[in-house]
């Protein structure tokens, strides 16, 4: 590894990258060599490996957050849906996405599906792909279907840069993203026992930066961060441990992410950047058909999510397992306002947690709202209630 950089310097760099609404680093990367393409993808998850193998840079588009005023985007959507599609439209109409070659809209909800239609109407990019993910978890059915969907994407990219993707290239890309997930997981493993070594706000910036820069660069940054947090840095504080669930698409404002820890809760796991952590084990790097390996990984060891209907693998038990494994004291259900997938799942989790005696609270947010005094008080009360009645698990609604 190269010389160890100052941790704060790395975090500052990641902060800048994460919220650069002009995607400057991606643009520079593309301009450095002919044939390079930038492919934007919406939350939650997309197998970035295939874009990398095709000479592209996958770039996540999470909306404008609280940094972009919505003026035109509101005209495209009714008031009673979430905020992220408006801010993505605003980014597109204000030409923040002009250097993107194509856009992928994973099948997460109707809102994202409609957004893909609006992008098509506006002829944004050279291709628009609404990508269906399998809801059938048999490799010979859902797995084969998923491979076909990935082949469509590779075909679109080849039409732009002429690059034919070989199994060797794909396996190399898979290897890089395996490494990426391992390093991110290492950070969470350290934070499970020593959450004061790196705040959740810093973790968020560090992981989000990886969605807009080449994976090779992100791996190098992550390695440096991992070296730092091996050391006994920071000062422990009297806080309870919680898991955040439901915030996988539209992202809370960074002030809200910070406020939860300031209010007395160490966040030891979350689904903010779920796409970067979706695959839970290494994907096979020696497969003759790497697309099959990616599909199998998704089918057999992906994280649960509100966009996946996997009735044989109930998500409430999977979340309960995360709570147990992380040694968390409770769960905070945080949903974007009007986010159907997250809000429809919430009662399933909460009914199950009532029976299991897992404490929880829930609230809703919007990416552009930076006033959350009430939420901070709610989180503070949750933390206090856990500390006061440690031996008597109760759910707090
Ligand atoms: S925030 Fe929820 S409803 Fe809105 S686009 Fe994302 S998943 Fe769909």
CATH code of 40's domain? 3.40.50.11890
For a mutational test of ligand 1's pocket, the pick from 340, 346, 364, 366, i.e. the residue with the most ligand atoms closer than 8 A to its C-beta, is 340
Q: Is residue 261 over pLDDT 60?
A: yes
Residue 320 lies in a domain: no
Q: Alpha-carbon distance 273 to 282, whole Å?
A: 18
**Mean pLDDT value across residues 252-267:** 96
334 lines ligand 1 (CB under 6 A): no
Nearest ligand 1 atom to the CA of 83 is 4
User: What are the distances in angstroms from CA 187 to CA 92, 119, 201, 260, 266?
Assistant: 34, 36, 13, 19, 14
Q: What is the pLDDT of residues 168-227, one digit of tens each?
A: 999 999 999 999 999 999 999 999 999 999 999 999 999 999 999 999 999 999 999 999
CA of 390 to the centre of ligand 1 (A): 35
Q: What is the pLDDT of residues 50-88, one digit of tens each?
A: 999 999 999 999 999 999 999 999 999 999 999 999 999
**Mean pLDDT value across residues 356-380:** 94
Nearest ligand 1 atom to the CA of 85 is 5
Residue 46 lies in a domain: yes
Could you tell me the residue range of the domain that residue 24 belongs to?
7-163
Residue 76 lies in a domain: yes
253 lines ligand 1 (CB under 6 A): no
CA of 295 to the centre of ligand 1 (A): 24
Name the domain count of the chain. Answer: 1
Q: Is residue 264 over pLDDT 50?
A: yes
CA of 247 to the centre of ligand 1 (A): 9
Residue carrying structure tokens 């059915």: 141
Phi, psi angle pair for 198, to nearest 5°: -155, 125
Q: What is the pLDDT of residues 134-146, one digit of tens each?
A: 989 999 999 999 9
Check residue 1 and give its pLDDT.
62
Q: Is residue 378 over pLDDT 90?
A: yes
**pLDDT band per the 50, 70, 90 thresholds, residue 162:** very high
Residue 115 lies in a domain: yes
Check residue 371 and give its pLDDT.
83
Residue 75 lies in a domain: yes
Residue 264 lies in a domain: no
113 lines ligand 1 (CB under 6 A): no
By mean pLDDT, which of 45-49, 308-312, 354-358, 363-367 is the weakest? Answer: 308-312
Q: Whose CA is nearest to atom 2 of ligand 1?
A: 339
Check residue 227 and give its pLDDT.
97
CA of 43 to the centre of ligand 1 (A): 9
CA of 335 to the centre of ligand 1 (A): 9
CA of 117 to the centre of ligand 1 (A): 15
Q: Whose CA is nearest to atom 3 of ligand 1?
A: 339
Residue 251 lies in a domain: no
pTM: 0.96
283 lines ligand 1 (CB under 6 A): no
Q: Whose CA is nearest to atom 8 of ligand 1?
A: 109
Q: Whose CA is nearest to atom 6 of ligand 1?
A: 249
Q: Is residue 276 over pLDDT 70?
A: yes
CA of 9 to the centre of ligand 1 (A): 33
**Mean pLDDT value across residues 155-178:** 98
Contact 208, 18 (CB under 8 A): yes
Q: Is residue 397 over pLDDT 90?
A: no
42 lines ligand 1 (CB under 6 A): no
108 lines ligand 1 (CB under 6 A): yes
Residue 323 lies in a domain: no
Q: What is the pLDDT of residues 221-238, one digit of tens each?
A: 999 999 999 999 999 999
User: What are the distances in angstroms from CA 286 to CA 145, 146, 198, 290?
Assistant: 21, 19, 35, 8
């Amino acid at each position: 590894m190269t010389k160890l950089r100052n941790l704060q310097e790395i975090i500052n760099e990641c902060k800048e990258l994460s919220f650069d609404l002009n995607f400057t680093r991606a643009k520079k990367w593309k301009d450095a060599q002919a044939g390079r393409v930038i492919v934007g993808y919406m939350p939650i998850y997309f197998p970035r490996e295939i874009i990398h193998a095709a000479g592209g840079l996958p770039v996540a588009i999470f909306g404008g957050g609280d940094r972009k005023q919505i003026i035109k985007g509101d005209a495209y959507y009714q008031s009673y849906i979430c905020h992220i599609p408006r801010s993505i439209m605003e980014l597109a109409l204000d030409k923040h996405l002009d250097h993107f070659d194509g856009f992928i809209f994973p099948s997460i909800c109707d809102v994202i599906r409609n957004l893909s239609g609006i992008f098509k109407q506006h002829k944004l990019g050279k291709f628009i792909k609404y990508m269906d993910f399998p809801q059938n978890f048999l490799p010979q059915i859902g797995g084969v279907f998923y491979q076909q969907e990935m082949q469509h994407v590779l075909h679109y990219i080849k039409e732009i840069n002429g690059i034919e993707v070989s199994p060797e290239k794909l396996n190399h890309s898979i290897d890089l993203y395996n490494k990426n997930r391992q390093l991110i997981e290492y950070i969470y493993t350290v934070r499970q026992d020593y959450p004061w070594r790196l705040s959740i706000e810093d973790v968020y910036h560090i992981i989000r930066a990886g969605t807009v820069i080449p994976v090779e660069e992100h791996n190098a940054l992550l390695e440096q961060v991992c070296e730092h947090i091996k050391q006994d840095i920071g000062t422990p504080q009297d806080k309870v441990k919680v898991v955040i669930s439901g915030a996988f698409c539209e992202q809370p404002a960074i002030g809200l992410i910070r406020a939860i820890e300031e209010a007395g809760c160490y966040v030891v796991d979350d689904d903010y950047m779920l796409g970067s952590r979706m695959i839970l084990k290494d994907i096979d790097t020696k497969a003759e058909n790497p697309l099959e390996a990616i599909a199998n990984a998704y089918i057999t060891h992906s994280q649960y999510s509100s966009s996946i209907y996997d009735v044989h693998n109930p998500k409430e038990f999977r979340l309960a397992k995360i709570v147990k494994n992380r040694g968390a004291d409770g769960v905070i259900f945080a949903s974007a306002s009007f986010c159907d997938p997250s809000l429809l799942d919430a009662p399933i989790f909460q009914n199950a947690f009532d029976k299991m005696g897992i404490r929880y609270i829930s609230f809703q947010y919007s990416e552009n709202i930076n006033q959350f005094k009430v939420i901070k008080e709610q989180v503070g009360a949750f933390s206090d209630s856990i500390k006061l009645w440690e031996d008597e698990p109760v759910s707090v609604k």
